[in-house]
Amino acid sequence: MMKVSRNWQIISYECIDSTNAEAVRKSADYFADGLIITAKEQSKGRGRMGRVWQSFVGNLFFSQLFKSNAPLWVLTYISSLSVCESIQELCRGLDVKIKWPNDVMVSGGKISGILIESGKNDTAVVGIGVNLQFSPDSKDILYPTTNLRDLGFDISQEDFLQCYLKIFDKYYDTFIAEGFANIRHQWISCSYKLNEEILVSQGNKKQKGIFKGIDENGCLLLKQEDNTLKISAGDVFA
Ligand code: BTN
């Protein structure tokens, strides 16, 4: 198999507004390939759909900046699968699942979120937050949350990042060599609420149905009585 894994270069900050914002800024005059921006603290952590990502010191925040030969929607699945597998590898025995499109859950609580953006010069920015030690205040968010320390695992930021990058490179190489089919299959096997009823919210529009995984273009498949909807963006509620 052709190997395209990168030699990731890591830049670490004590405090920054957002590692994604910094990665997007750096993409303007960026010529090497494979940069990781990490920070101990973020003052303006960004979440999906314009939301805030509460960034407690002790959790992990990083962004990957690279020229991607995979489209951004594929990176959604590669990165969430890699976070999921990292937790499985570092914390044996936990029930880890991925809630569409890319929230990683342990025992029904969100433990990691991913925000993918495009940078300048055809770069991709994959930003990942992992609750290693703290969970956000649940009064501020719409869903249950958890963190690895409360689940009995003391994992350092460095160990998690190294494990993640190893697994990310593996799945990225798989995509380049074979396309999306294998990633799709693996992602579906780790997905949260597969074949169960979910509610998909897209702004004010809410639709119920049975979650049937994702299609070959990464759309969520929602089976209703007489048809199956294909949904490309939104939030899933159980
Ligand atoms: C979400 O679930 O809404 C996505 C959260 C993504 C958070 C990470 S933390 C590191 C990177 N920098 C940011 O500002 N956001 C992402």
pLDDT value, residue 31: 67
Residues 87 and 149 in one domain: yes
Pocket test for ligand 1, best of 36, 43, 46 (most atoms within 8 A of CB): 46
Please indicate, yes or no, if residue 141 is contained in any of the structural domains: yes
Task: Kindly compute the dihedral angle of the four CA atoms of residues 13, 34, 68, 103, in this order, to the nearest 10 degrees.
Answer: -40
| pLDDT number for residue 29 | 87
Q: What residues are in contact with ligand 1 under a 6 Å CB criterion?
A: 18-20, 42, 45-48, 51, 53, 61-63, 103, 113-115, 127-129
Pocket test for ligand 1, best of 53, 103, 128 (most atoms within 8 A of CB): 53
Kindly list the distances between the CA atom of residue 134 and the CA atoms of 9, 59, 119, 161, 199, in Å, as whole numbers in the listed order: 27, 7, 29, 17, 27
Dist. CA 82–CA 171, nearest whole Å: 8
Rounded CA-CA distance 226/206 in Å is 17
Q: Which residues of the chain have pLDDT under 70?
A: 1-5, 31, 138-140
- From CA 140, how far away is CA 64, in angstroms rounded? 27
pLDDT computed for residue 105 by the predictor? 97
pLDDT of residue 49: 87
Between the CA of 180 and the centroid of ligand 1 the distance, in Å, is 24
CATH of the domain at 127: 3.30.930.10
Q: In angstroms, what is the span from residue 114 Cα to ligand 1's centroid? A: 5
Do 37 and 80 share a domain, yes or no?
yes
Total domain count, the chain = 2
3 state SS of 148: coil
> What pLDDT digit, counting tens, does each position of 123-168 carry?
999 999 999 999 987 666 778 999 999 999 999 999 999 999 999 9
Instruction: Please indicate, yes or no, whether residues 106 and 222 belong to a single structural domain of this protein.
Output: no
Q: What CA dihedral angle connects 174, 178, 181 and 182, to 10 degrees? A: -40
Per the document, the length of the chain is: 238
Amino acid identity for residue 12 in this structure: S
Distance in Å, CA 78 to ligand 1 centroid: 16
1 located within any domain:
no
